[in-house]
Structure 1
Amino acid sequence: MHSEYAVEPTAIGSDWPTFKYLIEKFSFDKGRLISRLPSKWEKKVIAAAKDANLSDVQISSIIERLKSTKKARVFDLGRKIENGEDWIDSVLREHASRPFRGIICKEKPTGCAEALTADDCDDDHPLFKVSRSRDVNRVADEISDALFFLLAPATEIDVVDPFFDLRPSKGDFLGPIAALLAKLAAAGFSDKTLRIHYRTHDSRPPDHMVAKDAPGLTAGLIPPGFKLQLFEWAEIEGGKDLHDRFFLTNFGGIQIGIGPAAAAEGKDTTFTLLDDDHAQDWRSRFELNATIYNRIGRIVEIDSQGNVALI
């Protein structure tokens, strides 16, 4: 659902019209992310603007747009520059092991088919074109791939699935989550808590029974540094429905048609990027003091060691 781009600081920062055009092409709800390579990418862009003798007004505008938190565009996605390495050498080394969708640079390196100049960055270009929705095969590996870039930089994660259930007899809800956590851990990401929100039902066990069974049902599925928190909610009579499925973070969100549970090969579901403000509106419905739905019982928290707490 999201594409990662390496963007050379001088390619975007040394020309004001280019900066204005390119920076607006990136954000979670646009499906394009700028990899923070180097770690001080924003400072390198500002330095490029100063070296190019852009006006003080233009430089101030660049600084403000890079500092703005309204639209997150640049993310640490686990890339590194080795000491003394040129930007393009680092990018090509990283690209060889974990490919970027595109590499935006001032001059295209020889032999790199994914290289782009700023002039190439048109919405119709094959390497720059993105889709805000697509069908995803309902198998754990493909579901987790579609969600990886949404969760990798996130510090707050809410999974909304009214039908989520730890019990295997109710469906494979844990398979895609386990695959996603494994990929995040392998890429060096950790210290994340997935808050899973589901709808109450008479057939659901009470919180103390969920807590009792959780270690066995999640054994080996939660990597070190990750936790699951389970929230049970009830609709309020005359209030909003709790039916749609989402993965939501502090940066953005994806709506999932049939839901993120795995199914037989050949089954698919539609993933759709949400506008950033819409994603945050949905997240707000599940805050502890929210009044859109009624929370039932206690929060069940499970860590990688099988420790369970009722909160």
Structure 2
Amino acid sequence: MLSEYAVEPAAIGADWRTFKDLIDRFGTDKGRLISRFPTNWEKKVIQAAKAAGVPDVRMSSIVERLRFSKHKVVDFNRAYDYAADWINNALREHASRPFKAIICDAGKPACAETMEPDDCSDTHALFGAPTSRDVTRTAHQIADALHTITAVSKEVDIVDPYFDLRPRKGNYLATLVSLLARLAGEPGQTKAIRIHFRDHDTRPSAEILARDGSTQVTGLLPPGYSIELYAWSEKHGGEDFHDRYVLTDLGGIMIGAGLSADGPGESTAFTLLNFGHAQKLRSRFSDGSTVYTRAGSAVRIRDSGSAELF
């Protein structure tokens, strides 16, 4: 549901209005992410603005906006040759792992997916980005829809009140396995995937969950990954625990019917969330939450297969 764009630092930084218009069109909630390409992309934008003589008051605004754009400019682990210029780097990377589009100034060596900043409108075929769609309820399709946001985020919270690793309670395990297989191909990533579900008296104890969960995911977790399982109960008179989400430090997705892979005959709506709203929802499932109450111990399963309660 998210598309990666290569944006030339000079093309966005040399003019204040261009910068303002473009940066506001990106973000997880917009369906578009700027590739941090090169890794000092923000610094390159500031350098381009200074070189173009952008006034100090506008420079301050550019610096401030970049500081609050961490959910818009994201590291996709792209290789960059500093001995070559930006456009040739972009074209080389695009040939091996395509961007949705390359946004650069006019007159640069081009490919079919090259755009100029003035072309960046929602009606342009390369820039259009739907923020909601139906996803077929197979493990493959659900994992595909979640791959980008979970791969580029440092923190991932999967929220589904009915999430259960027991096969008779829905096919959640297949979705998790399919997603982990995709994440295993992302180099240099380490993270905890936190799974939040609703407590119920038919749920197994944390001790049993640790034992069985470890058996089910051993060998599936990429190096450096762990899974954390949290049970939550509703507060009397408080919020219902019903909605399903995948929430991250970059944003989130609301999921209509849930994450169980119930078959190709069904679909569920995936909708991108406003960044601030996603962070507010994440706080419901964090230490000190005033919305829900942690039920018992949480379970952590490491890539080695070991499990612990905490």
Which bin holds the TM-score, normalised by the shorter protein? over 0.9
Does residue 31 of the first structure (1) align with residue 31 of the second (2)? yes
| 85-94 vs 238-247, greater mean Cα deviation | 85-94
Instruction: Report the secondary structure of 1:122's partner residue.
Output: coil
**CA distance in structure 2 between the aligned counterparts of 1:292 and 1:45, rounded to whole angstroms:** 41
TM-score, length of structure 1 as denominator length: 0.95
**CA distance in structure 2 between the aligned counterparts of 1:240 and 1:81, rounded to whole angstroms:** 48
Give the aligned partner of residue 231 of structure 1.
Answer: 230
**CA distance in structure 1 between the aligned counterparts of 2:209 and 2:247, rounded to whole angstroms:** 24
Contact 1:161 1:244 in 2 (8 A): yes
Give the aligned partner of residue 47 of structure 1.
Answer: 47
TM-score, length of structure 2 as denominator length: 0.95
Amino acid aligned to 1:24: D
**CA distance in structure 2 between the aligned counterparts of 1:293 and 1:273, rounded to whole angstroms:** 23
Q: Which stretches in structure 2 are left out of the alignment for 5+ residues? A: none
Measured against aligned partners, the alpha-carbon deviations of 1:239-292 in whole angstroms (never above 9, x if no partner) come to: 111011000011211000011221212321100011111111111111122132
Q: CA deviation at 1:31?
A: 1.3
**CA distance in structure 2 between the aligned counterparts of 1:303 and 1:119, rounded to whole angstroms:** 48
Give the aligned partner of residue 305 of structure 1.
Answer: 304
Contact 2:46 2:59 in 1 (8 A): yes
Amino acid aligned to 1:11: A
**CA distance in structure 1 between the aligned counterparts of 2:293 and 2:59, rounded to whole angstroms:** 49
**CA distance in structure 2 between the aligned counterparts of 1:278 and 1:188, rounded to whole angstroms:** 30
Measured against aligned partners, the alpha-carbon deviations of 1:60-103 in whole angstroms (never above 9, x if no partner) come to: 2211211225x621111111212412211211121122211111
Contact 1:152 1:189 in 2 (8 A): no
Aligned residues: 310
Instruction: Report the secondary structure of 1:267's partner residue.
Output: strand
Over 6 Å off, 4+ runs: none
Instruction: Report the secondary structure of 1:103's partner residue.
Output: strand
Give the aligned partner of residue 62 of structure 1.
Answer: 62
Measured against aligned partners, the alpha-carbon deviations of 1:166-215 in whole angstroms (never above 9, x if no partner) come to: 11222221222222222223121421101111011222111111112122
Give the aligned partner of residue 244 of structure 1.
Answer: 243
**Taking every aligned residue pair, what percent have the same amino acid on both sides?**
51
Q: Which stretches in structure 1 are left out of the alignment for 5+ residues? A: none
**CA distance in structure 1 between the aligned counterparts of 2:81 and 2:180, rounded to whole angstroms:** 27
**CA distance in structure 2 between the aligned counterparts of 1:64 and 1:259, rounded to whole angstroms:** 38
Q: 1:249 to 1:223 in 2, by over 3 A?
A: same
Amino acid aligned to 1:22: L
Instruction: Report the secondary structure of 1:135's partner residue.
Output: strand
Does residue 112 of the first structure (1) align with residue 111 of the second (2)? yes
Contact 1:36 1:76 in 2 (8 A): yes
**Aligned positions of 1:1-311 closer than 5 A:** 1-68=1-68, 72-107=71-106, 112-311=111-310
Contact 1:108 1:117 in 2 (8 A): no
Contact 2:71 2:249 in 1 (8 A): no
**CA distance in structure 1 between the aligned counterparts of 2:60 and 2:282, rounded to whole angstroms:** 33
Amino acid aligned to 2:26: F
